[in-house]
Amino acid sequence: MLAEKAISAAGTEPINVRIKDPISRIEFRHVITRAARDSAGHPSLDITKVELVNGSDVLFSMNGSECQALNIYDRQVGSMLEGDRHISVDQVATYGLDFGRYLWDKQLALNPSAREFGDLQLKISHTLTNSDASATAGKLEVYAHVFDERKVNPTGFLMSKEQYNYTCGSANSYEYVPMPADYPVRKMLIRGYRAQYDPWSSITEFKIDENNEERVPYDWNMENYSRMMKGQWKEVSEYVGFEAPVGTINQFVTPTDWTEFVAERIGATQSSYMDSLVSGGHLAWTAAASGEVQGRVTGYCPNHCIEVPFNDKNDNLTEYYNVQNINNVRLRLKAGSNATNGTGQVVLQQVRNYK
């Protein structure tokens, strides 16, 4: 869809979708050439928005951090990063727009030839400096996974969008989020984002009620919920490699909860250590002598996102949260002790059938 293109500044890349065959997945690769040893933020922050539209109809819309988290939960993979943070080396991050429950799902896929589509366009807004403040060069490349020789007739596709974005209030305050009632919901992501803080310390509780609390499907303390879901989620795991100068260096990683960093220090002088606990996806590494650090970080809650699935174990299309026959569905989020200066986002993945 887009051959590798050099980028040197922030911008938005519009890409007209000229493909006519059904598309299972659109995938893109965003690369920056590292210019600083110290990181300013997680690589996914360099994608400020990815959006697929059909005129004014929005089919996919979220930021890079949410997109990677949704990919990790959907695909049950460890990471969407290569993990190399060395100067003058490519820092590679990948992102996917998944229109099916898995790659090559014959029932759910984006069909550009469907009668309701006529002006499909992908828009990727990007920068170079949210993860590396000194970066001046990068690359962008976009691919489509297409059913070309296999004839399929998908009944619909997964439509994934950020539905709500707000600034968290003071501790113990509530935010009420109206839920759309247009399409069945397969999955929800709740993101409590404050840099270097665990997600559940920004949003400490979530509750879903129907028809003014006539029925309450979910009412959870967020930390207890994430503890329980460790029996269902795949652990996030990624390589991290960087050069540590004398002093303290900052790196940002994908897992943001129950995170552990196991590393080796290469060199004669082994006087390096973690400056603090790994919290909210932040690593602080202190060294008395410069040297190479390589390791693997593991944990949960990618990019501060917590998954709330609404599907059965067989992912049956008829078993999702059907909100279409409910008059009122509301999500309530409670601010945690570290919510100040944090943000909350809600992403919904819905099943949208073709007309």
> Per-residue pLDDT tens for 1-33?
999 999 999 999 999 999 999 999 999 999 999
Q: How confident is the model at residue 5, as a pLDDT?
A: 98
CA 317, CA 184: separation in Å to the nearest integer? Answer: 9
- pTM (predicted TM-score): 0.95
- 2-234+301-353 maps to CATH 2.60.120.730: yes
Please state, rounded to an integer, the average pLDDT across all residues of the chain: 94
CA 104, CA 146: separation in Å to the nearest integer? Answer: 8
Asked if 262 and 219 count as a contact pair (C-beta separation under 8 A), the reply is no
Q: Is a pLDDT exceeding 80 seen at residue 81?
A: yes
Residue 268: burial class (beta carbons within 10 Å; 0-12, 13-18, 19+): exposed
Q: How confident is the model at residue 13, as a pLDDT?
A: 98
Instruction: Give domain limits for the chain.
Output: 2-234+301-353
Q: Which two tokens stand for residue 18?
A: 């000229």
CA angle, 126 as apex, 125 and 132 as ends, to 5°? 160
CA 145, CA 26: separation in Å to the nearest integer? Answer: 6
Q: How confident is the model at residue 270, as a pLDDT?
A: 55
Lowest mean pLDDT among 174-178, 208-212, 272-276: 272-276
> Per-residue pLDDT tens for 288-320?
888 889 999 999 999 999 999 998 888 999 999
Q: In terms of Cα–Cα distance, which of 124, 97, 161 is closest to 14?
A: 124
Q: In terms of Cα–Cα distance, which of 126, 117, 131, 129 is closest to 83?
A: 131
Concatenate the DSSP letters of all residues of 110-127 into one string.
Answer: B-TTSTT-S-EEEEEEE-
